[in-house]
């Protein structure tokens, strides 16, 4: 059980290869302004203009300016690893990182990514994704950190820090209200508009971006969709007012690829860089470039705005120390085989395996079915338990745009090729006792064979999944990225029913992008939600199934009893109204007294934990909440105490909001103290739309400390 601490700590210590003494934004701006002052108008504009789709080695490229020894920037996906490259790690998506509820692992994973991007010569990593899992079907939920803004904010900030500590510019995306795939990128006025009030934007959807800004993020990517009727990349309200004026963001705002919808309005609203440069892929023309130069000359755009664009971009380059011995570009988006050989994986598989195990969520374990001990026979049933021939390199399914075999990432631009993928069969076979017989069927639809195997073995394990991804790829009947429904794929429900009817000791393992319905739940003994575990999938799973690692994963989203229990769904509409306001995810279930199947923050362990000795100390500026956690079971394990706050009724907040979490590793019989320190101005304030500022509501606050959003163990109060 101590592996978690040793590997994570060692990863952070050993992988850091960059001098930690990076420039302040102030010093970086001083250098950048000096450079920009020496440039011509055309050169300043070129700093802000990509060279066009597939005109350079990276997904996005800006030109060099030899006069100031500026090499231009290489921008490359993805939020989980280096996309379109060999000899990189097939990493773990954000949803699994969030499921660890483990800050040290989030940092270690980010550091490993930063190392790989830097060594591949990438200046800008296009991640993390800090959009919210507002709707359960949304295709890219798995790239982000779940349904809660506080959890997303913490994990996003740690990811930014880990990436940028290695000298790579991180990109928080997609700004903002980009919570589904349908109609997200539709051109012209038929693109959907996400409509939300100012308080909802500030307290929910901008919250993670604010935390990224606090972490010093160098770039923020604006999205395709409209926001309250105005395109995101030309939205003065969200870019200039909120991001640059209120949050004091110092880096540069780049467009999503072909999300720039205008020249002058986008420039005036605060867009600093257009990507990949051309208006449409391969068109050869640009809203910036010569058109922006002409707009400055005719007075449509002030020169000061172009100076600001170039300064912000070059300042980010200086701040991350990329002017000092930065590696040459080691990727080739246009022709992968022409990239120089550069293996950047190191021992990152250890971190991936550890995060995979730590993010595995035990949802049900009747009669202590798990961990598996010394069974005479194990049945591995379902295609998700076996090989994934379509999910490796460029010769397979494009950007993982298929669901063949075990699922370890979703599909789309948020992926990276696997150097290998350990499937569940391989992981279980290598870990099971030598004389345990393993029988397999990777056919999802041969129910007779599945039932026959289930009857013949002591431990039948059914493997099922549900997939989704970015909207430019369609898989099956799904509506361009978003899931068509919340059912398991490949007839998974019927497969589970057939196996459970044949053997009551059935274990279900789910690899999924998000919540799925479980009509068979009462028929099975154990359910494991493994999420999307990356290249070490089978090994991470075996670590948990056999008890080498005590499960400590927690749900970063709510699993409902039925789809209609969710307020918001992916819709085909030109107007997407965020009318639930602050009541996203578990907040909505609480406010409307809806019992979930499994609540946010839920996850079981092979041991038990007790909570006591709550302490609450409040002042005008801070609140400290602490409690004693005891492992009252028989084996070592990790607990995730969570702090929820109930605001005074006059605040108009949800019944309780997450404001803290920690992971404690405890040996059997041992206790530990958890402490949550809250900044009143930041974490106990609400957005006042009348005065356009954060405000502390005076009155009595409720304190809830528990093992999930519904499993509250300790309660208290304080007054501000």
| Sequential DSSP letters for 386-444 | S--TTSSSTTSSGGG-S--SS-SS-BSTT----S----HHHHHHHHS-TT-EEEEE--S
Cβ–Cβ under 8 Å, residues 120 and 346: no
Task: Say if residue 128 is preceded by a cis peptide, omega within 30 of 0.
Answer: yes
Q: Is 256 a known active-site residue? A: yes
Crossing angle of the two packed helices 149-164 and 207-214, in degrees rounded to 10: 30
Question: Quick check: 483 and 133 in contact, CB under 8 A?
Answer: no
Alpha-helix runs per DSSP H in 237-302? 264-269, 289-297
> What gap in Å lies between CA 420 and CA 610, rounded to an integer?
41
Residue of 263, 264, 266, 285 whose CA lies nearest to 223: 266
Q: Which residues contact 176 (CB under 8 A, 6 or more apart)?
A: 201, 205, 206, 209, 222, 223, 227, 232, 238
CA–CA dist 164, 172 (Å, integer): 12
Pairing of strands 226-227, 671-679: unpaired
**Spatial distance between the Cα atoms of 626 and 719, rounded to a whole number of angstroms:** 16
CA atoms within 13 A on the CB side of 210: 18
Closest by alpha carbon to 502, among 460, 444, 440, 445? 460
Q: Is residue 166 a contact partner of residue 114, using CB atoms and an 8 Å limit? A: yes
Side-chain-side CA neighbours of 287 within 13 Å: the count stands at: 25
Residue 408 · residue 533 · CB < 8 Å: yes
Given 35, 183, 256, 272, the catalytic residue: 256
Within 13 Å of residue 643, how many CA atoms lie on the same side as its CB? 28
Please give the structure tokens belonging to residue 151. Answer: 């959890």
- CA–CA separation, 97 vs 359, rounded Å? 7
CA atoms of 682 and 647, how far apart (whole Å) = 14
Q: Which of 235, 224, 232, 133 is nearest to 179 (CA)?
A: 133
Count how many Cα atoms sit within 13 Å of the Cα of residue 181 in the half-sphere of its side chain: 25
How far apart CA 246 and CA 691 sit, in angstroms, is 13
Longest dimension (CA), the chain: 81
DSSP-H helix ranges across 48-197: 94-100, 103-119, 149-164
Active site residue ranges: 256
């Amino acid at each position: 059980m101590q592996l978690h601490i040793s590997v994570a700590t060692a990863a952070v210590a050993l992988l850091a290869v960059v001098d930690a003494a990076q420039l302040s934004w102030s010093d970086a701006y001083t250098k950048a302004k000096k450079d920009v002052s020496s440039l011509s108008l055309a050169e300043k504009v070129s700093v802000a203009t990509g060279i066009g789709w597939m005109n350079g080695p990276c997904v996005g490229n800006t030109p060099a300016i030899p006069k100031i020894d500026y090499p231009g920037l290489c921008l490359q996906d993805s939020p989980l690893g280096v996309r379109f490259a060999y000899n990189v790690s097939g990493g773990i998506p954000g949803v699994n990182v969030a499921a660890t509820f483990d800050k040290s692992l989030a940092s270690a994973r980010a550091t490993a990514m930063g190392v790989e991007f830097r060594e591949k010569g990438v200046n800008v990593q296009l991640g993390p994704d800090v959009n919210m899992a507002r709707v359960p079907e949304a295709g890219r939920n798995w790239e982000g950190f779940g349904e809660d803004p506080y959890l997303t904010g913490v994990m996003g900030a740690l990811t930014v820090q880990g990436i940028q500590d290695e000298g790579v510019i991180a990109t928080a995306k997609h700004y903002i209200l980009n919570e589904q795939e349908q109609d997200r990128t539709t051109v012209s006025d038929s693109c959907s508009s996400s409509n939300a009030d100012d308080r909802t934007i500030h307290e929910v959807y901008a919250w993670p971006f604010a935390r990224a800004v606090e972490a010093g993020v160098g770039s923020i990517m604006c999205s395709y969709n409209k926001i309250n009727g105005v395109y995101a990349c030309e939205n003065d309200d969200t870019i200039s007012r909120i991001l640059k004026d209120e949050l004091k963001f110092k880096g540069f705002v780049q467009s999503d690829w072909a999300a720039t919808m205008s020249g002058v309005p986008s420039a005036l609203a605060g867009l600093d860089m257009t990507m990949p440069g051309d208006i449409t892929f391969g068109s050869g023309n640009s809203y910036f470039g010569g058109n922006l130069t002409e707009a400055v000359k005719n007075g449509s755009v002030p020169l000061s705005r172009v100076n600001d664009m170039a300064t912000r971009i070059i300042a980010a380059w200086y701040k991350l120390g990329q002017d000092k011995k930065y590696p040459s570009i080691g990727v080739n988006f246009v022709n992968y085989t022409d990239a120089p050989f550069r293996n950047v994986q190191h021992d990152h598989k250890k971190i991936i395996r550890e995060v995979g195990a730590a993010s595995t969520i035990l949802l049900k374990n009747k009669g202590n079915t798990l961990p598996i001990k010394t069974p005479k026979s194990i049945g591995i049933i379902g295609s998700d338990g076996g090989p994934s021939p379509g999910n490796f390199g460029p010769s397979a399914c494009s950007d993982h745009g298929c669901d063949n075999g075990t699922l370890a990432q979703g599909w789309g631009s948020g992926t990276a090729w696997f150097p290998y993928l350990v499937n569940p069969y391989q992981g279980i076979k290598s870990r099971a006792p030598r004389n345990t017989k393993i029988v397999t069927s990777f056919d999802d639809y041969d129910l007779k064979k599945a039932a026959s195997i289930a009857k013949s073995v002591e431990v039948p394990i059914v493997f099922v999944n549900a997939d989704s991804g970015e909207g430019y790829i369609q898989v099956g009947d799904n509506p361009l990225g978003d899931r068509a429904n919340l059912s398991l794929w490949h007839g998974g429900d019927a497969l589970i029913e057939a196996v459970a009817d044949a053997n009551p000791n059935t274990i279900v393992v789910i690899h999924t992008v998000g919540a799925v319905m479980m009509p068979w739940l009462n028929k099975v003994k154990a359910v494991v939600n493994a999420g999307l575990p990356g290249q070490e999938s089978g090994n991470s799973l075996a670590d948990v199934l056999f008890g080498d690692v005590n499960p400590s994963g927690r749900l970063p989203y709510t699993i409902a009893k039925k789809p209609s229990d969710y307020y918001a769904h992916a819709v085909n509409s030109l107007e997407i109204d965020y009318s639930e306001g602050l009541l996203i995810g578990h907040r909505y279930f609480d406010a409307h007294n809806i019992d979930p199947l499994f609540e946010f923050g839920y996850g079981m362990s092979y041991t038990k934990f007790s909570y006591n000795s709550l302490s609450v100390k409040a002042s005008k500026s801070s609140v400290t909440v602490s409690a004693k956690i005891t492992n009252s079971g028989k084996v070592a394990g990790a607990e995730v105490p969570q702090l929820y706050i109930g605001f005074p009724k006059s605040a108009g907040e949800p019944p309780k909001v997450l404001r803290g979490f920690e992971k404690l590793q405890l040996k059997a019989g041992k206790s530990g103290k958890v402490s949550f320190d809250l900044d009143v101005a930041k974490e106990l304030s609400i957005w006042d739309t009348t005065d356009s500022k954060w405000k502390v509501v005076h009155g009595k606050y409720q304190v809830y400390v528990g093992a999930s959003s519904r499993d509250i163990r300790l309660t208290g109060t304080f007054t501000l």
